[in-house]
């Protein structure tokens, strides 16, 4: 099968790889029809992780079931399914209590497993023609009858839509709340969409990429461009000097200041300033235990210079961690089916698998108009239509 393979920093190639197959009785084999490039894929692409060469990337996957193992009961050949990026066993204590992002059996020695991701187990990714899904009855979400019609919406259930929603859950967003979201990338935009679905009264999104801030406006958010004025000042002005009720961190350890220099503590310290006393902050941006290639000696060890004193004095609280996708994906799937949620609005490029290396380059550089890329394995370059978002961006 054709698959996108990691060969080293800034070097990914579409390569002929052994076909994915059924290995265990509970496995499901899926023919991938849509798979996304995620912002967290870029950490590996840039060589900032211990990703092994020769591995297939891709953890945002959707497709059609073509084979099932002998122990699979619920999922049938022909079903259109979306897979959470978390791989859970379904029976460990964490999985049973809803913490499927922290399964204790699928990646021994670490709580959490995922497709095609550094440190998250040996599982190949889905930026390929086929994907093996362990514990298929548990890890496949069967999609409604409109699955093909709304495929570009439903594929977002694999990661970024539930992750954005998770940010608002960690922050405790309630109807009427004012919410400040740091990051207008795909996850930040999904956090804005989720906050709106929850009835937030005022949603502010902080970034300096004008094309992404424009999308935030389309989701009902107020754009905060920190290249024009300090973000904290803008948020305080919009909240009568009190700060936002809730805050969401959707950037992670590679966040930058207005000059483009990386400082892993920028978003966290600004959230302490921009969120009111007793406010809550939800952190879904990726922060790693170690980052040896960072220029910051603290970040090399996964540490940061955090303003804990102000955080403590303001009586704030922080909740963190990757999304337990299965806790949300069925409910969010229903919202898509009913037309109340449209996460596909963020898609800028819909391309073939063979074009993926070029797409990684553009997406990594944050080139104008490259907000979210989805890949269509099995289709040629000429057979894949450009999304409406590309037309808006003049691409």
Which CATH number goes with the domain that contains 279? Answer: 3.40.50.720
Residue range(s) defining the domain that contains residue 52: 2-159+325-393
226 and 284 in one domain? Answer: yes
- The last residue of one of the domains, among 290, 320, 350, is 320
153 and 24 in one domain? Answer: yes
Distance of alpha carbon 261 from alpha carbon 257, whole angstroms? 6
User: Would you place residue 151 in the very low, low, confident or very high pLDDT band (cuts 50, 70, 90)?
Assistant: very high
- The last residue of one of the domains, among 266, 286, 320, is 320
User: Would you place residue 258 in the very low, low, confident or very high pLDDT band (cuts 50, 70, 90)?
Assistant: confident
297 and 266 in one domain? Answer: yes
102 and 196 in one domain? Answer: no
168 and 290 in one domain? Answer: yes
Is the pLDDT at 366 greater than 80, yes or no? yes
The pLDDT assigned to 295 comes to 80
182 and 99 in one domain? Answer: no
Largest CA distance in the chain: 61
DSSP class of residue 131 equals E
- The last residue of one of the domains, among 267, 295, 320, is 320
Ranges of H-type helices in the chain: 41-45, 93-96, 136-139, 151-154, 160-170, 186-197, 210-218, 231-238, 266-274, 297-300, 308-313, 329-337, 356-364, 388-393
CB 71 within 8 A of CB 26: yes
Tokens of 229: 């004025």
19 and 64 in one domain? Answer: yes
Q: How far is CA 87 from CA 123, 217, 323, in A?
A: 9, 34, 12
233 and 290 in one domain? Answer: yes
What CATH number did the domain enclosing 32 receive? 3.90.180.10
15 and 88 in one domain? Answer: yes
Is the pLDDT at 391 greater than 50, yes or no? no
333 and 260 in one domain? Answer: no
153 and 7 in one domain? Answer: yes
278 and 309 in one domain? Answer: yes
Q: Which residues contact 34 (CB under 8 A, 6 or more apart)?
A: 61, 62, 63, 151, 152, 155, 374, 375, 376
User: Would you place residue 388 in the very low, low, confident or very high pLDDT band (cuts 50, 70, 90)?
Assistant: very low
**Over the stretch 158-211, which tens digit does the pLDDT of each residue have?**
999 999 999 999 999 999 999 999 999 999 999 999 999 999 999 999 999 999
């Amino acid at each position: 099968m054709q698959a996108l393979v990691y060969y080293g920093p800034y070097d990914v190639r579409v390569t002929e790889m052994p076909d994915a197959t059924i290995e265990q009785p509970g496995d499901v084999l899926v023919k991938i029809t849509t798979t996304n490039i995620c912002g967290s894929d870029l950490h590996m692409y840039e060589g900032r992780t211990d990703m092994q060469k020769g591995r297939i990337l891709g953890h945002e996957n959707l497709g059609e079931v073509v084979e099932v193992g002998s122990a699979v009961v619920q999922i049938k050949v022909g079903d259109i399914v979306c897979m959470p990026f978390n791989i859970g066993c379904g029976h460990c204590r964490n999985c049973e209590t809803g913490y499927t992002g922290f399964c204790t059996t699928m990646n021994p020695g670490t709580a959490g497993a995922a497709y095609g991701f550094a440190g998250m187990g040996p599982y190949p990714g889905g930026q390929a023609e086929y994907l093996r899904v362990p514990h298929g009855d548990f890890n496949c979400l069967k999609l409604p009858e409109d699955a093909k019609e709304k495929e570009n919406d439903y594929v977002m259930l694999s990661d970024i839509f539930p992750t954005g929603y998770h940010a608002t859950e960690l922050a405790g967003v309630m109807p009427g709340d004012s919410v400040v979201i740091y990051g207008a990338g795909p996850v930040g935009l999904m956090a804005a969409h989720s906050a709106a679905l929850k009835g937030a009264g005022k949603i502010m999104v902080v970034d300096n990429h004008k094309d992404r801030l424009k999308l935030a406006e389309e989701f009902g958010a107020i754009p905060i461009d920190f290249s024009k004025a300090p973000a904290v000042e803008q948020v305080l002005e919009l909240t009568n000097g009190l700060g936002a009720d809730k805050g969401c961190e959707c950037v992670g350890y590679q966040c930058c200041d207005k000059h483009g220099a990386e400082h892993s503590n920028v978003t966290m310290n600004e959230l302490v300033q921009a969120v009111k006393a007793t406010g809550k902050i939800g952190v879904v941006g990726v922060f790693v235990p170690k980052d040896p290639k960072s220029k910051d000696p603290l970040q090399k060890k996964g540490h940061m210079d955090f303003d804990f004193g102000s955080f403590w004095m303001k009586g704030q609280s922080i909740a963190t961690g990757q999304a337990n996708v299965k806790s949300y994906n069925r409910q969010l799937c229903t919202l898509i089916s009913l037309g109340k949620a449209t996460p596909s609005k963020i898609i800028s490029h819909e391309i073939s698998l063979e074009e993926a290396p070029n797409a990684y380059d553009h997406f990594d550089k944050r080139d104008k108009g490259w907000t979210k890329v989805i890949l269509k394995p099995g289709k040629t370059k000429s057979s894949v239509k450009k999304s409406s978002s590309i037309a808006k961006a003049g691409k």
